[in-house]
């Protein structure tokens, strides 16, 4: 365990990482009539939780003498927060064996903690390799064309000289044709090999792009993909964003294990996607939180759809498939806000509404403060 003063010096360097790969959230705006200040007690609890998590991250890095690189920070956060079961089990097994948690060991772990970062790096590498392969294919085709033109010119010359030296011209024509066939076969083999390599690279590029944009557990779009889609969405139509958080999810993990928790996450992901329909983008925003993007939908219509999804999920009863023990009801607290020309502001408003739903008793949908929940479009200006 590191000395307190050493840990304290690293906390500022870790502050931007506690929220995960996307970085820390933007600071909340000063309270206004449109967005009241959050509950002081709840805000204090969140700050205390953030500090405790950063201290655990610091302790992990210091205990194993790991540099605070981007990938190791993400791994340390996933381990400290218990977000990646496979990663936690691999590290715990390593510790039980009294073997070092070294950079070489961590780099071998196919963890979800740094899957997005590795996915982005893989995309860049594959794109470069594919570009180089296609460029080489183009050069091979150029060589083939040059060879064909040279063969044609040589044939023309031998035809002109055939009258003077018929036997010699015939021998040279045979030699030229044989050499041309051999070059063509060689170039055809190169092109076929490059075509196979290009197909393989395209397949890997597609898979890497999918991995960089998809949550590994639920197969929903991830936060990176959601933010990109939200940024592309046009302000000429009514739009809304919602944040949905599974109530008391830690209790599910603690009582029934992470396998049961993972199954609950997957069921909730499918439920939201099915209940809200194909026109709504549902993404895993992190942990037990899901984000929804409604395009061409008023705040009123979005709230009604979310209310229905929330109520239908609460009607279900969950059972642990491993031991048959009842998990019980799984409910959602949801905050929804209109999305105009400030995506970050809309997400903060939805987050504040989500915690208002928690304070009001959970299992409900709350519209962001200051919004008018009517059927009228809420367009950007």
Q: Which residues are catalytic?
A: 288
295, 339 contact by CB (below 8 A): no
How far apart (Å, rounded) are the C-alpha atoms in residues 110 and 107? Answer: 8
348, 339 contact by CB (below 8 A): no
Q: What ranges in 111-257 are assigned the alpha helix state H?
A: 115-161, 166-213, 223-232, 249-256
CA 60 vs. chain centroid, Å, equals 25
What are the CB-based long-range contacts (under 8 Å, 24+) for 187-195?
Answer: 187/140, 187/143, 187/144, 187/147, 190/140, 191/137, 191/140, 191/141, 191/144, 194/133, 194/136, 194/137, 194/140, 195/137
What is the enclosing helix (H) or strand (E) of 290?
Answer: strand 289-295
Tell me how far apart the 2 most distant CA atoms of the chain are, in Å.
Answer: 106
CA 376 vs. chain centroid, Å, equals 34
Please tell me the number of Cα atoms within 13 Å of 182 on its side-chain side.
Answer: 6
CA proximity to 243, closest of 331, 353, 136: 353
Measured in degrees and rounded to the nearest 5, phi and psi for residue 47 equal -65, -40
242, 305 contact by CB (below 8 A): no
CA 263 vs. chain centroid, Å, equals 19
Count of H-run helices and E-run strands, the chain: 12, 7
Indicate the SS3 state at residue 337. strand
CA proximity to 129, closest of 203, 198, 187, 207: 198
Within 10 angstroms of residue 99's Cβ, the number of other Cβ atoms is: 10
């Amino acid at each position: 365990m590191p000395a307190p003063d050493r840990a304290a010096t690293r906390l500022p360097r870790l502050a931007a990482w506690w929220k995960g790969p996307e970085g820390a959230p933007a600071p909340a705006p000063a309270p206004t009539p449109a967005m009241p200040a959050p509950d002081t007690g709840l805000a204090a609890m969140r700050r205390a939780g953030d500090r405790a998590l950063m201290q655990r991250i610091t302790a992990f890095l210091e205990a194993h003498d790991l540099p605070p690189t981007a990938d190791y920070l993400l791994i340390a956060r996933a381990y400290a927060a218990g977000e990646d079961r496979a990663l936690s089990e691999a590290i715990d097994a390593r510790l039980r064996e009294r073997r070092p948690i070294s950079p070489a060991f961590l780099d071998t772990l196919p963890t979800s903690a740094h899957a997005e970062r590795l996915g982005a790096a893989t995309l860049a590498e594959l794109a470069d390799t594919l570009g180089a392969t296609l460029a080489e294919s183009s050069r091979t085709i150029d060589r083939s064309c040059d060879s064909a033109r040279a063969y044609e010119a040589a044939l023309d010359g031998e035809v002109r000289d055939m009258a003077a030296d018929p036997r010699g011209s015939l021998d040279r024509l045979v030699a030229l044709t044989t050499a041309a066939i051999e070059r063509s076969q060689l170039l055809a083999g190169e092109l076929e090999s490059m075509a196979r390599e290009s197909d393989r690279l395209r397949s890997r590029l597609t898979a890497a792009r999918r991995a960089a944009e998809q949550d590994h557990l639920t197969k929903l779009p991830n936060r990176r993909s959601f933010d990109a889609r939200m940024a592309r969405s046009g302000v000429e139509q009514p739009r809304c964003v919602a944040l949905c958080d599974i109530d008391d999810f830690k209790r599910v993990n603690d009582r029934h294990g992470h396998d049961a928790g993972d199954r609950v996450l997957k069921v909730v992901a499918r439920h939201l996607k099915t209940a809200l329909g194909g026109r709504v983008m549902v993404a895993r925003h992190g942990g037990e939180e899901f984000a929804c993007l409604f395009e061409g939908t008023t705040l009123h219509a979005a709230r009604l759809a979310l209310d229905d999804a929330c109520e239908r999920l609460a009607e279900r009863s969950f059972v642990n498939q491993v031991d048959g023990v009842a998990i019980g009801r799984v409910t959602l607290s949801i905050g929804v806000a209109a999305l105009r020309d400030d995506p970050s502001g809309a997400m903060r408003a939805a987050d504040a509404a989500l915690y208002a739903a928690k304070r009001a008793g959970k299992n409900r949908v709350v519209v962001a403060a200051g919004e008018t929940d009517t059927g009228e479009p809420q367009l950007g200006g």
